[in-house]
Each structure stands twice: as C-alpha cells, then as structure tokens.
Amino acid sequence: MRRGNADGPAPLVLLAEDDPDVRETTQLLLLRRGWCVTPTADGVDALAAVDVEVPDVAVVDVAMPRMNGLDLTARLTALGIPVVLLTARSLPVDEVSGLAAGADDYVTKPFDADVLSARLHAVLRRARGVVSEAVTIGDVRIDLRARRVERNGVPVSLTSVEFRVLEALLRERGAVLSREQVVAMAWDSTWQDPRIVDTNVQRLRRKLGAEVVETVRGFGYRIEADRA
C-alpha cells in the first residue's frame, strides 16, 4: 500500500536501473523525499511491474540489459506514463534520442536528489495539466510557451539566460531552490558557475520588480506559490 497524507497517496515512481548500488541509493533518496518507489533491474522487469501497478511516473536508466531505456521509454509513454531518463551520458545526441523516444525530461549522473525529485514533480504537473503556460505574478504576466513577458501590459525583453532562470523557479514555484539546483534545471548540467543565478536574479528583479523572486538566506531562491 502506498504511503500518503491528507492530500492522498504518495506518487508512485517506477525505477528501472540495472546497477544495484545506484538502484538502491536512488530508491532510498526518493523515499526520503516522500515518493513511493517500485525498483526494477531492467526494462522487462519494469513492464512486468506495470502490469501489477501502474506508476505515476518512471525514472529510467538508458543503458540496461534485455531492454534498453529508450525502448522501455517508448513502451511506457505509449501507456501514458511520463518518463524521466537517468543517464551517465551528456552528449546532445543522447538527449535528442531520449526525447525522440518520448521522454519528458532527463537527468545526468551523478545527479542531485533534490533536482531529480523536482524534475519528477514538474513532469507530473505537466502530465496532469497543473502547470499553466501563462503565469501571473502581481503586475507581471509570463507566457512560458510563447516565451513572452509583460509588466503592466508592456512587453519586457529578457535574455535567454534570464528566462531560463525565471522558468526554473516558476516550474518549482513555492519550493526553495539552491543556485546549484537552478543551474541543473535550467541548463541540464552542473558545469555552469552557480553565481550566474545570482547575477540573473538581480537582473530579473530590476526588470520585473524586487518582489517577484524571494531570497531565502542560506538556502536559495523562491517564487511564492500564491503569487503565481
């Protein structure tokens, strides 16, 4: 039986990872963050687990025996199950292959557990239609799909980097994200200098208003849930 609270049962993650150490560690990290987890060792076992209980979302390793992660992703997405790929690869061709197979997102190893959890929540919200592509924060309106920002009805020009930072915070609004988490979500990597987040938050505040992005001292940044 799934754990739960007043809001209902905890979301169930199907974890397909052939490395037993990575599988056990990932399962433990997700459990600590409130997820329920069905661990499996490869694509064949993962599909068998789906027959027993359909998960809310899946975390799938790319390189697995018997059935690789891309083939499994195609099978799962055909069933309407959103997928986050877990891979040690970081080449653009791997990202393209994963998204072409139907994956909703991907995280490269080694990964930050909070980032993985945040990505899973974001994927679930998109799958359930909870994330609105048009967001209003006070006198600021942000259209994520059109990548258009207006303040008091007047268009505001943002650089691509400013928009990446803003979108990462919006996708996880209500949650406090560290600079490292914003970098991982905005660039799908961790090579960027985390100070780039500080610089662009300052620029966003100048353009959109100081109240849009909150600083939580010692932790990071947040866009309040009730403002969006």
Q: Does residue 14 carry a pLDDT above 90?
A: yes
User: From residue 171, how far is each of 133, 194, 195 by CA, in Å?
Assistant: 10, 19, 20
Whole-number Å distance between alpha carbons of 208 and 137: 10
Whole-number Å distance between alpha carbons of 192 and 88: 18
What pLDDT shows up at residue 105? 83
Structure token pair of residue 157: 């020009």
Residues 119 and 138: beta-carbon distance below 8 Å? no
Whole-number Å distance between alpha carbons of 57 and 128: 11
**Which is higher by pLDDT, 126 or 7?**
126
SS3 160: helix
CA nearest to 118, candidates 183, 39, 46: 183
As a whole number, the mean pLDDT across the chain is 83
Cis amide prior to 110 (ω within 30 degrees): yes
Distance between first and last Cα of the chain: 34
What pLDDT shows up at residue 95? 54
Residues 224 and 214: beta-carbon distance below 8 Å? yes
What tens digit of pLDDT does each residue of 89-107 get? 655 545 556 566 678 888 8
Residue 155 dihedral angles phi and psi, to the nearest 5°: -60, 140
Q: Does residue 23 carry a pLDDT above 90?
A: yes
Whole-number Å distance between alpha carbons of 175 and 155: 27
Whole-number Å distance between alpha carbons of 38 and 40: 7
Report the helix count and the strand count for the chain, using DSSP H and E: 8, 13
pTM of the predicted model over 0.75: no
